[in-house]
Homo-oligomer: A and B are copies of this chain.
Amino acid sequence: MKPLFDGLRRAGVAGAVLLPAAAFAQDAAQQAAPVADKGDTAWMMVSTLLVLMMILPGLQLFYGGLVRTKNMLSVLTQIGAATCLAMLIWVVCGYSLAFGPDAPAPFTPFIAGLDRMFLAGITPASTAATFTKGVVIPEYVFICFQMTFAAITLSIVLGGIVERVKFSALMVFALVWMPIVYLPIAHMVWASSGLFFTMGALDFAGGTVVHINAGVAALVAAIVAGKRLGYMKDSMAPHSLTLTLVGTGLLWVGWFGFNAGSALEANGSAALAMINTFVATAAAGLAWLAAERLFGHKPSALGLASGIVSGLVAVTPAAGHAGPLGAILLGAVTALACYVAVAIIRPKLKYDDSLDAFGIHGVGGIVGAIGTAIVYAPALGGQGAADYDMAAQLGVQIAAVCATIAWSTVGTLIALFIARAVTGLRVTTEAEREGLDLAEHGERAYNL
């Protein structure tokens, strides 16, 4: 998903100018002003709504099933409201700051300008370029597609700090975090003038922007917010693994919008991303079960779900770059890494990353981003050229990962401190004990 942005802007203008001509210009290829192929448009609209489904109800259920009954609605409401907020931020300034015309130097590599605030100047006839020269999609579709990425990233972060933070604090956090963390990183990775883009970092569908970023932010937030009352003492068993498994299924289904949609076209590259998103995930699901057996436990439903999600995270940056065998490998290895992070390391450390947003999205994202440099190699069936220099690419990937971690950590700290200053961040002990559903939202999830 690296639209060639000069092309994009030019195409957008061209489309607007040539609007009256569009009707008879059905056959785009030979035209001066490209018109969107309807197959591409259909696919990208579907991809967009698939990513929405990943959040509502996918992630809501995946996360919600893991908390205690008394906090179920708070998770659903937090994710739902954060998604709404992220969308509004996106049209107000987000799209412009991430993908708008270049900001003046020295900001160019880090952020774009504000010219497209409120989507100024964009019409139904505006188009955005894809990776293929001369192929475009309606710009509104591109905006929507990217909007869902912003929303899901913010939502994943919440997994680190459920069951204890005020709803108002999360809203303030979101308002600050989006502009200072998400938008710059999205610009750096996906805009042609962005820092990582110019470095040549490989990130097919947003492993850095979405998963590493969200995972790290969740970890930082979990540490700053502190542990839940009774953490490691009371039973905090998931209130409904059934819902978590439903969420897992919807995440997998929706993730094809995320990964195959990131091809921006309905073509062979999308098809490759699709098969990789199948097999990496399947391998990761089974690998997690195998890891449980290996470490003396029973193969569990939550293990399968965790493996599936870690595989999806892993294959995100590699989706259009790896071959199926490379993807299987990457999925399996990442699942093992996440298993160790979540089941062995986290219980030993003191932080309460409640839903393992870091353990799965952060760790999985990092392994996936670095692994992408490996599975890109043609020897492993990857799409790299014959003279692909793996060592160099590994360096680039690691640099991008480290920079993302650093930026996300600092920005998240700032956002948290502002949220704490404004709202106090955590609910009272009583509210936490009674549950956020009643205390913060005045409702109970179930009246059976």
The answer to whether B46 touches A138, judged by C-beta atoms less than 8 angstroms apart, is no
Q: Is the CB of B29 within 8 A of A26?
A: yes
User: How many Å lie between the Cα of A174 and that of B141 in the bound state?
Assistant: 38
Interface code A270-314, partner B: CB below 8 Å = 1, 0 otherwise? 111011001101110110010000000111111011001000000
Q: Known interface pairs A268-B138, A285-B81. Does A447 touch B52 (Cβ–Cβ under 8 Å)?
A: no
Residues of chain B lying within 8 A (CB to CB) of residue A275:
91, 140, 143-144
Taken together as a complex, chains A and B put the C-alpha atoms of A445 and B446 apart, in Å, by: 14
Report B-chain residues with C-beta under 8 Å of the C-beta of A270: 41, 45
Q: Cα distance A194–B305 when bound, in Å?
A: 37
| Alpha-carbon gap, A38 to B274, bound state (A) | 15
For window 5-25 of chain A, which residues contact chain B by CB distance below 8 Å?
23-24
Q: Do A299 and B77 touch across chains, with their CB atoms under 8 A apart?
A: yes
Flag if A443 contacts B40 (CB, 8 Å).
no
CB-CB under 8 A from A28, the residues of chain B are: 26
Stretch of A252-260, A341-349, A393-401 with 4 or more beta carbons under 8 angstroms from chain B: A252-260
Contact A52 B140 (CB under 8 A): no
Which of B49, B125, B140, B147 is A256 in contact with, Cβ under 8 Å? B49
- Residue ID in chain B nearest A239 by CB atoms: B447
CB proximity to B under 8 Å, residues A33-66: 36-43, 45-46, 48-50, 52-53, 55-58, 60-61, 64
Partner of A308, one of B23, B80, B285: B80
- Known A-B contacts A132-B23, A446-B240; the reply to A41 vs B441 at CB < 8 A is no
Contacts of A88 in B (CB 8 A): 279, 282-283, 286, 328
Contact with B along A171-199 (1 / 0, CB 8 A): 00000000000000000000000000000
What 1/0 flags go to A241-275 for Cβ under 8 Å of B? Answer: 11101101110110010001000011111111011
Distance of A236 from chain B, by nearest CB (Å): 9
* Chain B: CB-nearest residue to A235: B447
B76 close to A446 (CB less than 8 A): no
Contact B80 A304 (CB under 8 A): yes
Q: How far is the CA of A91 from the CA of B43 in the complex (A)?
A: 25
Report how many residues on chain A are interfacial, defined by Cβ distance under 8 Å. Answer: 119
Q: Is A124 an interface residue (CB 8 A)?
A: yes
User: Which residue from chain B places its CB closest to the CB of A80 in the assembled complex?
Assistant: B304
Q: Does A83 contact B (CB under 8 A)?
A: yes
Is A407 on the interface with B (CB-CB < 8 A)? Answer: no
A93 in the interface, Cβ–Cβ < 8 Å?
no
| Residues B76 and A245 in contact, CB atoms below 8 Å apart | yes
Question: Which of A289, A304, A305 has most chain B Cβ within 10 Å?
Answer: A304
- A73 sits at the interface (CB 8 A): yes
Q: Answer yes or no: A72 CB below 8 A from chain B CBs.
A: yes
A83→B347 CA distance, assembly (Å): 31
Q: Given A84-B286, A275-B140, A279-B87, do A441 and B245 touch, yes or no (CB 8 Å)?
A: no
The reply to whether A60 and B124 contact each other, CB–CB distance below 8 Å, is: no
Judged by a CB distance under 8 angstroms, whether A389 is at the interface is no
Tell me the bound Cα distance from A24 to B26 in angstroms.
Answer: 17
Answer whether residue A167 sits at the interface, using C-beta atoms and an 8 A cutoff.
yes
Per-position binary interface string of chain A over residues 121-138, scored 1 when its CB falls under 8 Å from any chain B CB and 0 otherwise? 001111000001111001
Q: How many angstroms from the CA of A351 to the CA of B289 in the assembled complex?
A: 32
Chain B: CB-nearest residue to A76: B245
Provide the residues of chain B in CB contact with A24, threshold 8 Å: 29
Chain B residue numbers with a CB within 8 Å of A46 are 42-43, 46
Whole-angstrom distance between the Cβ of A69 and the nearest chain B Cβ: 5
Q: Is A119 in contact with chain B by the CB < 8 A criterion?
A: yes
Residues of B near A144 (CB, < 8 A) are 271, 274-275, 278
Closest to A285 in B: B84
Residues in B whose Cβ lies below 8 Å from that of A2: none
Residues in chain B near residue A265, CB distance under 8 A: 38
A-B contact pairs, 19 of them (CB 8 A): A23-B132, A24-B29, A39-B41, A41-B271, A49-B50, A49-B253, A49-B256, A52-B253, A55-B249, A56-B248, A58-B249, A73-B241, A77-B299, A80-B304, A88-B279, A119-B324, A123-B268, A147-B278, A239-B446
The list of the 8 closest CB pairs from A to B, nearest first, reads A38-B39, A56-B249, A124-B268, A57-B249, A140-B271, A42-B43, A39-B39, A84-B282
